[in-house]
Copies of this chain bind each other. A is one copy, B any other.
């Protein structure tokens, strides 16, 4: 008989993320913070360290291939639904501003990160220093998206700009990494990278056009007999696009999933498909995604020197991104408050930072000692972003109304009850037709 502990792990993750989220909300924090904390608590960082200390045995949840894959699937579904909720026209409108924000948001952290490394380690060569800067460039859009969704701010000017900037940021980060590794001596063809990015845009335009045509044809030809096939095909399309963007164009899978979401939302049955991914996300995939981030953390034993560096890295990562993106937004005519909110939304770092760090280590450009500080920087940014972002919208809610928020809440509640009622009727209908 095989080992069944994975069932218990899933059980603990799903239950604890929910309980921690409820506690978070009671404490006026975004629920995302609770989900992150749950992983941190039940993982090696807290429970593992405690049990090791007191009982001599490390008893905690550990990352596994299954959890990692499900977490990847989770972030793909988060970006897919974000894509389905994004209005292309509005995103286009935010495109220019987004580009400026992304650009300043890459240049400032790159410079400040390199400067920090130079100050901290006089022996470091320029390329190593720039690599630490490069680690700070890429925003992790998924946590910001989830927080903006939770606050109901996805479709605002700030939300759209942040999203556009974070998407462009990923591409800039990629180019940045390519240039640096190119300079560092590896044989990377810059032209090829640009060609691939251009190819990607041609690809999604073509696929989007074909998908739209096909769905319009299918909508005409077929009776609406069986609606289930639409979400199923939509999901398969999302997975294909995620795979294709990574494998064919070297662009992050989540960007492919996002594009798939936008394409589906614009075609017939888009809204119906979008309505179906809510349950799968909150029941299984999103909790695992957030908890898994916490699980990956093992607090390393660090020298005094490294602790100082860690603190400095955290401060620089927050200030540089907030400042860089804030300046960009301000240049584009945003108010001070809006610029601050856009900057905050971009502070989150994620797996791209780890990928860059891993690349640097494999090229012997940065020492493995720096992995600890980088992981801590990611965690701190990830936890403070939702908290401060929520707080930054606070005043605004007071103006337009906490009552509004309450209203939305009550409406959702009504819709839930309505849905429950619908289900009852449906089963009644089904049972009536049986013998």
Contact = CB atoms under 8 A, between A and B. Distances in A.
Interface of A: 1, 4-8, 10-11, 14-15, 18, 22, 65-66, 69, 73, 76, 152-153, 155-156, 224-229, 231-233, 235-236, 239-240, 242-243, 246-247, 253, 271-272, 274-277, 279-280, 282-284, 287, 355, 396, 400, 404-405, 407-409, 411-413, 415-420, 422-427, 429-431, 433-435
A289 B10 CA distance: 18
A409 B433 CA distance: 10
12 contacts: A4-B247, A18-B229, A18-B233, A156-B434, A224-B413, A231-B279, A232-B283, A271-B427, A400-B435, A408-B429, A411-B430, A415-B426
B235 A155 contact: no
Given A271-B423, A411-B429, A415-B429, 19 more contacts: A4-B243, A4-B253, A7-B253, A8-B243, A8-B247, A15-B232, A15-B233, A152-B430, A224-B417, A225-B413, A227-B420, A231-B279, A235-B284, A276-B283, A277-B283, A279-B280, A400-B435, A408-B429, A415-B422
Contact of A433 (B246, B247, B407): B407
B431 A155 contact: yes
A424 B270 CA distance: 11
Nearest to A18: B232
Which 7 residue pairs across A and B have the least CB separation, nearest first? A11-B239, A275-B423, A15-B236, A408-B433, A7-B243, A411-B429, A8-B243
A239 B4 CA distance: 10
Contacts of A431: 155
A426 B412 contact: yes
Contacts of A407: 433
Given A18-B232, A412-B426, A426-B415, A1 B275 contact: no
